[in-house]
């Protein structure tokens, strides 16, 4: 049984709710100028705040994934028999499955692209990635499974509905 992690963040942007898209007409010229100036300051501050928050989320996500992978690798080293983990990415459309084995950790990424062009580009890229192992001798094994009806065997007990990954799967293992 895979462990699932769900993390919800709440960001308070109520401070920026006072930004006016259009200034009220019943203000004096000085009031409009003051309000317009305050609006511009708040908009600039919101832009900086948004960029900084996005960077923090990105760092958090990287550190979270890294810590989960390190935990599994340490458990594999210590022969602790760790459980598989699934990480839902992009609102759950794509999932990263971390499947520990006795001597290694496999990463299986299930893809689902709503846009057909993105799906076609991803499939081409993944086929090239799958083919690249013939040209690079020391590369990590990457295998592309384009048919969602035939997922990697490692997923048999982890994923109840593999058909939801319409673009297929890619596995990485060493």
Q: Give the mean model confidence (pLDDT) for residues 23-50.
A: 88
Is residue 79 helix, strand or coil? coil
Segment 83-123, tens digit of pLDDT: 888 887 766 678 888 989 888 888 998 888 878 898 888 88
Asked if 5 and 85 touch (Cβ cutoff 8 Å), the reply is: yes
In degrees, to the nearest 5, what angle opens at C-alpha 54 toward C-alphas 122 and 86? 50
Please state the pTM of the whole predicted model: 0.68
For 48-69, the pLDDT digits (tens) are 999 999 898 888 888 888 998 8
What residues have CB less than 8 Å from 161, skipping those under 6 apart? Answer: none
Tokens found for residue 124: 């081409």
Residue 128 has a pLDDT of 83
Contact 110, 144 (CB under 8 A): no
pLDDT above 90 as % of the chain: 11
Report whether pLDDT(1) > 70. Answer: no
What is residue 108's three-state secondary structure? strand
**CATH (residue range 83-173):** 3.30.1460.20
What is residue 174's predicted lDDT score, i.e. its pLDDT? 67
| Mean pLDDT of all residues in 132-140 | 72
Q: Give me the residue spans of the domains in the chain.
A: 25-80, 83-173
CA distances from 72 to 6, 23, 76, 159, 172 (A): 18, 55, 6, 19, 15
Kindly state the tokens that stand for 122.
Answer: 């991803």
> Tokens 């192992």 identify what position?
133
Looking at every residue in the chain, the average pLDDT score rounds to 83
């Amino acid at each position: 049984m895979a462990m699932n992690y769900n993390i919800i963040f709440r960001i308070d942007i109520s401070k920026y709710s006072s930004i006016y898209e259009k200034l009220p007409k019943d203000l004096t010229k000085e009031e409009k100028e003051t309000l317009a100036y305050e609006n511009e300051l708040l908009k600039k501050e919101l832009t900086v705040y948004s960029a900084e928050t996005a960077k923090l989320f990105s760092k958090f996500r990287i550190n979270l994934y890294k810590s989960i992978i390190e935990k599994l690798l340490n458990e594999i080293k210590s022969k602790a028999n760790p459980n598989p983990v699934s990480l839902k990415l992009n609102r759950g459309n794509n999932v990263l499955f971390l499947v520990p084995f006795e001597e290694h950790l496999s990463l299986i990424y299930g893809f689902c692209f709503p846009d057909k062009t993105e799906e076609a580009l991803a499939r081409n890229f993944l086929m090239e990635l799958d083919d690249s192992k013939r040209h690079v001798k020391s590369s990590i094994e990457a295998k592309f499974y384009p048919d969602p009806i035939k997922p990697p065997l490692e997923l048999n007990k982890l994923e109840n509905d593999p058909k939801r990954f319409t673009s297929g799967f890619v596995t990485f293992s060493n």
